[in-house]
Structure 1
């Protein structure tokens, strides 16, 4: 029975103590707010400046607009100062050492962001409570989402590193009335939400004083510098890698046979693709004439390589499809391309694909010329030199002169070996031989022209191979520069 009364008494004492505590806090707030003017600076001496310490915690980088040069971030701002009108003795109020007051009911410093870009839904300070200690020390913490102007330097894009300043200062009070200082040499990054495009490397805080033409007094400010580095993997995969593929395809035009008819159109198509791709990337970069971005220089080098390869393809096609009456290639050009010497490394490099064509053509020319000359000489040797037959003296055993004369007359009146019809036949044979010889000469001339054309085709093929290797090395150097991190 006594235990029940003791329990009820303990509960009653606890309730009374809580009510007393609530009334003490309410009485404290009422006393502090009585006669309090939130427009007056919280100092007893009017010549004393209010010391305001600033600190900032970066919560999130929402967006970085390179083209408009704007940064959208979410921060937690922290203001600290002493309010001499908000002091009390904690022992007089049941040991209450701190209370929470709405920020709109007490004096707060008019700290604003100087490089703020005012937009609907941004840069609006929420109504939060401030923490007031018994010694008058006020802690004012509130979240803040805003858009700020930030000069984006894309000279080394996509390997760029940006420094975006956030300048905080009082707009109405000069340095003699309100002294703004940074609480720590750097901001707080412990609660930062990682951004997929940017890596925050540092958050520096620097205090400075500025003088304006309107007023002789100094205006102190605290500037937080957000040092952030761009993640380049996204651009390497979606921008640089397609450029490398386009470049490789365009260089393969040197390995394409000229007779296919697509050698020049391939290079031209790849060149147009690069130009269009460059325009798409340029739309997302800020317009500037002070420098050319690193990605722009890369595109320029790639376009120059592809353009030069297209022009050289035209030059090589002019060698391959030479004029109907070509002249042989110059001797120095043959020596330069190792067409007259069979070096092992040259045969391996050029594969000897055109050498066999030229060798077969020369062999046919020699065989045809030798055979035709032999046929003509043989016909000349078998051709008779005269159409008359000389009489040959004969003798008879009986010495009959008349018989001998008659016999001699019969011998001299034998029909000639070549008659008029035979002469016409020989004339036709001469005409046929002349036509054959003319045909042979025309064919030899055609074979010689084909051999010269084949030589020019070999020159074109060897130049193609040399230019393929040269441009491949140039492309490797240009693309390797993209992996070099600019200082």
Structure 2
């Protein structure tokens, strides 16, 4: 109806009155106010609605509280409509084409925020001006600090996107009496001051009808995560990765238990920090909370396992023998490790180049053996066998002690917990990044 660019509205509101004398303006204003009532809708046919073009400019985002679900913004509304009682012939008033005066003098719609977080009050405070054109066009630009409710979605905190809607409606009028429409499908950001914690991704404006017309303005914003990454996420991941290293501490150092409990307490502190940033009844829950809970549970498990490991180290095999199945398990584990080492050695790419030299060395060795007495050879075999047994005696089932069992268990626990922590940390970043 009135397709006037929003940027012109501000200029119109502060422009000087285009008249040659004060008397012309006073006369025009007095003539317009004769028999004018600010309580009556400004249409001659009262069965028709007053059509209002609605737009909004966002000045700043003061705060968004995820815990309470409240967003505080500074906005300016752009409203325009036709007042059929405020039409005049500019030539009769010395070419006066527009007037600017208080909004109290004429009919203006009572615009209210429909999703307030605290007080239910009109957007305007009766101190804003209106500009009226000779053809009856009225331009009104009230502004206010609004606190609206906004349901947060912190599932990907601190990489979350939030979508908040500010809805306004004329109070006391049905859609058949006052209708709203918008010519611009977005929010005006020409006057916007960037926020230190949030970046605006997109905006949209639309009108819905539920008995009354409601103009809604949606702001989609993304959090700037660097502060939370440095102060919360990265320290938590570092603690999680250092947690399994308690199993490579020497048993006799006496620091195993204190180290694992210290990490457990650190996770508890960070869980409190993250909980303070989350809504009390968040749905869905933050993936960071789940990750932190899993690391806390893992830390509790590590403390428990470490206590049993210390007990295992201190056991006396003379009093409590090592079970045979456990000895066999250690032996199999040892053989697997040794097999891997042998296979790794056999993959030498230069091995084939040294075969002739080896053959020659074997021939020389055979010649030397022929010159040795059989008694010396038997003695050497026995000596070699004894050395062999001594070298691998710790791997024989009958010689495996509880100390050996605990040592191999430490390696197993260290590997298992480190792999689990790495997978859990990687999964968290994959989930929040998608």
TM-score, normalising length from structure 2?
A: 0.77
Q: Is the alpha carbon distance of 1:84 and 1:456 closer, same or farther for their aligned partners in structure 2, counting shifts above 3 Å?
A: same
Tell me, yes or no, if the aligned pair for 1:334 and 1:340 is still in contact at 8 Å. no
Q: Distance between the aligned counterparts of 1:24 and 1:251, measured in 2? A: 87
Q: Distance between the aligned counterparts of 1:309 and 1:284, measured in 2? A: 28
Q: Is the alpha carbon distance of 1:120 and 1:53 closer, same or farther for their aligned partners in structure 2, counting shifts above 3 Å?
A: closer
Which moves more between the two structures, 282-291 or 62-71? Answer: 282-291
Q: Is the alpha carbon distance of 1:345 and 1:297 closer, same or farther for their aligned partners in structure 2, counting shifts above 3 Å?
A: farther
Tell me, yes or no, if the aligned pair for 2:113 and 2:121 is still in contact at 8 Å. no
Shift, 1:343, TM fit: 4.0
Summarize the alignment of residues 391-470 of structure 1 with structure 2, pairs less than 5 Å apart.
452=399, 455-470=401-416
1:192 and 2:192 matched:
yes
Return the match for 1:257 from 250, 254, 263: 250
**Larger Rg, first or second structure (1 or 2):** 1
Tell me, yes or no, if the aligned pair for 1:122 and 1:146 is still in contact at 8 Å. no
Q: Is the alpha carbon distance of 1:471 and 1:126 closer, same or farther for their aligned partners in structure 2, counting shifts above 3 Å?
A: farther
Aligned residue number for residue 325 of structure 1: 319
Shift, 1:314, TM fit: 2.7
Return the match for 1:474 from 412, 420, 433: 420
Aligned residue number for residue 216 of structure 2: 223
- Name stretches of at least 5 consecutive residues in structure 1 with no aligned partner: 1-17, 211-217, 349-358, 367-446
Q: Distance between the aligned counterparts of 1:336 and 1:121, measured in 2? A: 78
Tell me, yes or no, if the aligned pair for 2:111 and 2:122 is still in contact at 8 Å. no
Q: Distance between the aligned counterparts of 1:141 and 1:115, measured in 2? A: 21
Q: Is the alpha carbon distance of 1:126 and 1:481 closer, same or farther for their aligned partners in structure 2, counting shifts above 3 Å?
A: farther
Which moves more between the two structures, 307-316 or 101-110? Answer: 307-316
Q: Distance between the aligned counterparts of 2:50 and 2:120, measured in 1? A: 32
Q: Is the alpha carbon distance of 1:337 and 1:122 closer, same or farther for their aligned partners in structure 2, counting shifts above 3 Å?
A: farther
Aligned residue number for residue 116 of structure 1: 116
Deviations 1:406-436 (A, max 9, x none): xxxxxxxxxxxxxxxxxxxxxxxxxxxxxxx
Q: Distance between the aligned counterparts of 1:259 and 1:148, measured in 2? A: 61
Q: Distance between the aligned counterparts of 2:288 and 2:196, measured in 1? A: 20
Tell me, yes or no, if the aligned pair for 1:103 and 1:127 is still in contact at 8 Å. yes
How many residues of Structure 1 are paired with residues of Structure 2 in the alignment? 371
Tell me, yes or no, if the aligned pair for 2:113 and 2:122 is still in contact at 8 Å. no
Summarize the alignment of residues 46-125 of structure 1 with structure 2, pairs less than 5 Å apart.
46-119=46-119, 125=125
Tell me, yes or no, if the aligned pair for 2:112 and 2:123 is still in contact at 8 Å. no
Q: Is the alpha carbon distance of 1:248 and 1:21 closer, same or farther for their aligned partners in structure 2, counting shifts above 3 Å?
A: same
Q: Is the alpha carbon distance of 1:346 and 1:275 closer, same or farther for their aligned partners in structure 2, counting shifts above 3 Å?
A: farther
Runs of 4+ in 1 over 6 A off after TM superposition: none
Which moves more between the two structures, 123-132 or 251-260? Answer: 123-132
Q: Distance between the aligned counterparts of 1:247 and 1:69, measured in 2? A: 31
Shift, 1:169, TM fit: 0.8
Q: Secondary structure at the match of 1:298?
A: helix
Which moves more between the two structures, 305-314 or 142-151? Answer: 305-314
Aligned residue number for residue 330 of structure 2: 334
Shift, 1:85, TM fit: 0.9
TM-score, normalising length from structure 1?
A: 0.69
Aligned residue number for residue 204 of structure 2: 204
- Name stretches of at least 5 consecutive residues in structure 2 with no aligned partner: 1-17, 345-385
Q: Secondary structure at the match of 1:338?
A: helix
Aligned residue number for residue 315 of structure 1: 308
Deviations 1:111-162 (A, max 9, x none): 1111113359995635111111111111101221011111112222222212
Alignment root-mean-square deviation, CA: 3.2
Q: Secondary structure at the match of 1:26?
A: helix
Tell me, yes or no, if the aligned pair for 1:126 and 1:143 is still in contact at 8 Å. no
Q: Secondary structure at the match of 2:142?
A: strand
Q: Distance between the aligned counterparts of 1:145 and 1:38, measured in 2? A: 26
Q: Secondary structure at the match of 1:283?
A: helix
Q: Secondary structure at the match of 1:36?
A: coil
